[in-house]
Structure 1
Amino acid sequence: MWQQHLAILPILVPLLAALLQLLPWGDRPQPKRRAIGLLSSILTLILTIALLVQVNQDQMIVYALGNWSAPFGIVLMVDKLSALMMLVTAILALPVLIYGCYAEDNLGSHFQALFQFQIMGIMGAFATGDIFNLFVFFEVLLISSYALLMHGGGKFRLRTTLHYVLLNLLGSALFLISVGTLYGVTGTLNMADLATQVQQLSGDQAALAKAGGMMLLIVFGIKAAILPLHFWLPQAYSTTTGVVAALFAIMTKVGVYAIVRVYTLIFGPEANELALIAHDWLWVMGLVTMLAGAIGIIGARDLRLLVAYLVVISIGTLIATYSLNGIATTGAMLFYLIHSTFITGALFLLADLIAFERGKTASRIVSGKKMANHSAYSVMFLIAAIAIIGLPPLSGFVGKLMIMESASPTGASFWLWGAMLGATLIMLISVTRAGSKMLWHTLSGKANEQSAPLGKRAAVVMLLSLSVVMTLFASPIRNYTDDVAEQLYDIDQYPSRVLTKGAE
C-alpha cells in the first residue's frame, strides 16, 4: 500500500518530524528531538533508495495529489533525475545531522525542526511537477535557510543573512512575475503541459514566454550562485556554522536542478522559437563563474571562505558543462555534481573541527599550535584536498576526466578544457598553501588540548568515504547518470506520462 505513496513520503516524513520536534517534550526536550531527527533522516534515506529502485523499474512515478487530473491538479513527478537528487540529499543530510547532534543544535532555537523543514523543501523542489509549486517549495527551504544562517547568532551572521534575505526576496518577486507571464501566454503551470504549450507559441506570445523564461534564469541563477549573482554565497557560507554550511552544499544544486529541468524540458531543443534560449548565457556565465571562484580562492585568508569559493568553482563547472547540451556531457556533469556535493559538505565540517581545536587562530590560514587530533585532521584534509582539486585517484579526478572526455577539446569545448585545467591548477596551489600553513607549519609549544567529539569526526569520515566509494563504483554510477541524462533529453516521454496519468 505504501508503495503507491512513495513519491510523497520523502516530503511528508521530514514534515512530520519537524512538527513533532516543535512540541515541548518536557524538561529535557533536546535528546528526544535529536532522536526524532535521526530517525527521520534514516527513514528518508531508506525511502529515497526505495524510490530510486522503483523509478529504475517504472522509469517515472506520477503522483496526483487528491486524485485531481493533470494539468489542472497538483502532481508530483519523480523520474530518474529527481530520484537521484533526492537520494543525494538524504545521503548528505544524515552525517551532517549526526554532526549537528553534538551540541551544535544547542547554539540556537529549533535547529532540529528547521533542519527537517529544510530537507522537506529540498525534497519537494526535486519532486514537484508544477512550476508554481516549485516556487512554493523554494520558499519553504528559503524560510528555513534564513533561520539556519543565523544559527548561533553574531553580527557577521546577521549582516550576511540580511543580504541573503533581501536578494532572495527579489528573486521570489521575479519568480512570481515570470510564473504569471508564462501562465498568461500558456494558461498552465504544469511543467509537462508547459512543454507542449511552449512549442505552439509564436510572435508576441513567444516573445512574452521568452521574457518569462529569462526571468526564471535570473531566479535560478541566484539559487545556484552563478556570476554575477553569486556574491551572497562566499560570505554566507563562510560566516555561518559548519553544520549549516555543509547542509547548504545541496542548496546550490537545487538551483542547478531547476535550470536543468526547465531549460531541457520547457525551453529545450524542441521548443521551436524558444529552443535553448538560455544555453548561450549559461555557457558564458559558467566559465566566468569558474574564473570568479578561482580568483576568490587566491585571495581567501580563511579556510571556510576558501571552501565557499570552491563551491563557486564547482557550480561554474556544472553550468558550463550542462550548456553543451549533450547526453554524454550531462551524464558526466551529474557525476561531478554528486561528488562536489559530498566533498564540499565534508570540507565545511572539517574546517569547523579545525577551527574548534585551533582555538584563537580558528580557521584563519595562518600557522597555529598543534591540535589535539592533528594527525587525523591532516589525513582528512589530504583526502579532501585530493578529491576537491581533482587529483588521481579519487572521484574529483574521475569526474573531471569524464567531463573532458565527453567534451572534445575542439570548438567551444576548448574553452571548457582551458577553464577546468586552469581552475584545477589554482585550486592545487591555494588548497596546498592552506594545508601547509595550517597543518604542516605549526608553532612550537604545548598543543591545544580541546578535542572535538568522536562523533563529529566520524561524520566527516562518513562524507569523505563517499569519495572513495564513488571512485570504486565510478562505472556503474556513470552508467546510471548517463541513463538519467538520456531520459532527461527524451522530451516526449515526460509530457506523455504525466498528462496520460492525469487523464486516467
Structure 2
Amino acid sequence: MSWIDLHLPILPVLLPAATAVLLLLLGDHGGDAGHGHHKLLWARRLALASTALGLLIAAALVQRAAGGELIAYRVGDWPAPFGIMVLVDRLGAMMLLLGACVALPVLWYASGGWDAHGRYFHVLFQFQLMGLYGAFVTGDLFNLFVFFEVLLIASYVLMVHGQGRERFRVGLHYVVLNLAASALFLIGVALIYAKTGTLNLADLALRVPQVGAPDAAVLRVGALLLLVVFGFKAALMPLAMWLPATYAAASPPVAALFAIMTKVGVYAIVRVHGVVFGDSGGATALTVEPVLLPLALATSAVGVMGALSARTLARLVAWLTVASVGTVLAGLGLYGAAAWGAAFYYMLNSTLVIAALFLLAELVAAQRGDAEGQLVPASPLAQPTLLGLMMLLAAASTAGLPPLPGFIGKLMLLEAASGHAWVVGFWAVVLGVGFFTLVGLARAGSILFWHVRSDLPDGGHSGSSPKLVLATCALLGASVLMSVAAAPIQRYTEAAALQLMDRAAYAQAVLGEQGGAAAQTTRPYRIDKPKEAR
C-alpha cells in the first residue's frame, strides 16, 4: 500500500487545514489595490486547486468504500477506543463527495467577486470545509463536537461576510443559539460518558446495550439532548425557525455552502440515534423513534408553508431547505435499510438543487433592478430564457417531477413506507409537500419571468457573467447526472444503509478482532422490520 493510500482517510481534513494556513501566510487582499488584487488572485487559485483536489480525494474514497471496505485510520497509531479514530465507510465517503461537489462550484461562484466583499473569505471557506469533512469521518463523539465547533466558528464569520445591518442582526441570533446548542452537546456527551466510559462510536455501540435499566434513564436523557443539538443543526422542527432568516440574509455563495451544513446534523442523527441508540441499544433502544418521524413530517409541512408565504426568492429557497431536511429525516424515522437508502439518495439531490437555487436566486435578483429578489413585478430580465430554464429544472427536481432524481428519491421513500403504521400520514405529507413546492416555485417563476413592467428601466446584466452561470449550471448538472446514474447510486445508498447496521464489522474495523467478537454476542440490528411490527 502506498503512502497516499495509507493516509487517504485523513487527507480530507488535513488538506483544507493546510490550505487555510497557507492562505493566512499569503495575507489578506486589503491595503494597496494593486498588490491586494494580486494576492486575491493567488488566494483564488490556491483555494480552487485545493478544493478540486479534495473532490478527487473524496471520489477515491468513494471508490474504495463502494466495495464494502471500512477504512480505519488511527491518528498517532493509538489504539481505539483511547486514541483519535478516523473511519470512512460508504456513508462517510458519500458525504465527503457530496460536500466537495457543492464546495467547488460554490467557491468558483464566489471567486466571481463575492470573495472580495470581506476579509479572509478563502481562509474561512477552507476552515469550514475542514469542519464539515472532519465531522463526516470522525469516529468518536468528542471529536464530532470539535469539528462541529470548527465549522460553526467559520460559519459565524462567513454569515456576516460582506457586512450589512440585516446580516449582523440575524448573525447575532445565529451565534447565540449555536453557542447554547454547543453547551447542550457537551452536557449530553458528559452524560453518555458517565454511564459508558467511552465516546468512541464503535465502542459505544457495544457498551450501550449492556447498560442496565437504572442507568439507562441517564443515557436516554443524553440521547434526547443530542437529538435537540443535532435537530437544531439539521433544522428539525420546532428548532428550525432560525434558518430561513439566516440563510436568506447570507451572501449567496455562503447560503449555498450552508446547504450542506444542515446535513451534518442529519448525518449525526444517523450515527448516534440510528446506530448507537438504534434497534440494538438494549434498554435505550430506539429512544428517539417515537418523536423523530412526527417531528420530521411536521418539519416538511411547516417548511413548504413557509415557502408559500415567502416574499423573496432567497427566503423561499431557505424554507425549501427546511422542507427537504424534513423529508430526509422522515425517511430516517422509518428505521429500515430501504428507508435509509432512499433518504440518502433524496438527500444527495436535494442538497445539490438547494445550493443551485441559492445561487440562481442571486443571478435573478441582480437583473431585476431595485426589486432584486422580491416577488413583485419588476423590469424584464436580461437573460429570461437561460435563467427561466434553470429555474424550471430546479423547480421540477425539488418538487419531485419525473424523470428527475427528486422524483426517484421520493418514490423510493414512499415505497419504503409501505406497511408502516404512519404510511397514510407519510404519503400525505410527502406528496402534499411536493405539490405545494411546485405551486410555490411556479408562483415565484411567473412573477419573476412573466409579470414584468415595461415602464421600468432595464435591470442590467450584472448577474449574467458566464463564470457565475457556469457554477450554477454545474450544480444543476450534477443533479441531472443523478437521474442518468440512478441505479448505481441507489445500490450504493442502500448498501451504505445496510453497512451502518452491521455493527460487528464496524466494531472489528475499529476495535479489532476482539471488538468484532463482542459485537456478535449482542442482539443484532433488524435490517427491515416485519410489517406487523411497524
User: TM-score normalised to the size of structure 2?
Assistant: 0.92
Percent identity reads: 45
Q: For residue 284 of structure 2, what is the aligned residue in structure 1?
A: 274
Note if 1:9 corresponds to 2:19: no
SS at match of 1:63: strand
Query: How many residues of Structure 1 are paired with residues of Structure 2 in the alignment?
Result: 504
Q: Which residue of the other structure, out of 309, 319, 322, is the alignment partner of 2:332?
A: 322
Counterpart residue number, 1:449: 460
What's the counterpart of residue 387 of structure 1? 397
How many angstroms apart in 2 are the aligned matches of 1:473 and 1:382?
Answer: 21
Match of 1:407 among 397, 401, 417: 417
**1:122 aligns to 2:132 (yes or no):** yes
Report the counterpart of residue 241 of structure 2 in structure 1. Answer: 231
Q: Is the partner of 2:25 in helix, strand or coil?
A: coil
CA RMSD of aligned residues (A): 1.4
- The match for 1:102 is 112
| Paired residues for 1:123-202 under 5 Å | 123-202=133-212
Q: How far, CA to CA, are the matches of 1:312 and 1:61 in structure 2?
A: 33
Match in the other structure for 1:477: 489
Residue identity matched to 1:483:
A
Contact 2:504 2:515 in 1 (8 A): no
Distance in 1 separating the partners of 2:181 and 2:345 = 28
The one of 64, 70, 92 equivalent to 1:82 is: 92
Partner SS, residue 227 of structure 1: coil
Rounded to whole Å, the distance in 2 between the matches of 1:449 and 1:176 is 50
The 4+ residue runs of structure 1 with deviation greater than 3 A are 24-27, 501-504
Give me the whole-angstrom Cα distance separating, in 1, the residues matched to 2:260 and 2:513.
31
Contact 2:304 2:436 in 1 (8 A): yes
Counterpart amino acid of residue 42 in structure 1:
A
For 1:5, give the aligned amino acid: H
Secondary structure, counterpart of 1:62 in structure 2: strand
Determine helix, strand or coil for the equivalent of 1:151.
Answer: coil
Moved more, 391-400 or 34-43: 391-400
Can you give the 5+ residue segments of structure 1 that lack an aligned partner in the other structure? none
Question: Match of 1:423?
Answer: 433
For the 8 Å contact 2:508–2:514, the answer to whether it is kept is no
Instruction: Provide Cα deviations, 1:307-344, integer angstroms capped at 9, x if missing partner.
Output: 00101111111111111111111111000000000000
Contact 2:345 2:489 in 1 (8 A): yes
Measured at CA, do residues 58 and 287 of structure 1 come closer, stay the same or move farther in structure 2, by a change above 3 Å? closer
Whether 1:303 and 2:313 are equivalent positions in the alignment is yes
Write the letter of the residue equivalent to 2:470. A
Does the CA contact (< 8 Å) of 1:70 and 1:503 recur in 2?
no
2: distance between equivalents of 1:491 and 1:267?
12
Q: Render the CA deviation track for 1:37-69: whole Å, top value 9, x for unaligned.
A: 000011000000111112223520110000000
Task: Report the AA paired with residue 508 of structure 2.
Answer: S
Partner of 1:459: 471
Q: How many angstroms does 1:393 deviate by?
A: 1.9
Distance 2:421 2:199 in 1: 37
2:160 and 2:187 map into 1 onto residues whose CA distance is: 29
Aligned residue number for residue 372 of structure 2? 362
What is the match of residue 65 of structure 1? 75
The Cα of 1:423 is off from its aligned counterpart by 1.0
Say which is worse superposed, 52-61 or 63-72, in terms of deviation: 52-61
Distance, in Å, in 2 between the alignment partners of 1:319 and 1:370 is: 39
Conserved 8 A contact 2:378-2:448 = yes
Post-superposition shift, 1:503? 8.8
Amino acid at match of 1:363: G
Moved more, 428-437 or 15-24: 15-24
Q: Match for 1:172: what amino acid?
A: S
Provide the rounded CA distance (Å) in 2 between the counterparts of 1:216 and 1:24: 39
Tell me the equivalent position of 1:495: 507
Shift of 1:502: 9.7
Per the TM alignment, residue 501 of structure 1 is displaced from its structure 2 partner at its CA by: 7.7
CA distance in 1 between partners of 2:388 and 2:436 (Å):
21
Match for 1:451: what amino acid?
A: S
Between 1:336-345 and 1:374-383, the stretch displaced more is 374-383
Q: Which residue, 14, 19, 25 being the options, matches 1:23?
A: 25
Checking the alignment, whether the CA contact within 8 Å between 2:507 and 2:515 is kept in structure 1 is no
Q: Is it true that 1:36 corresponds to 2:46 in the alignment?
A: yes
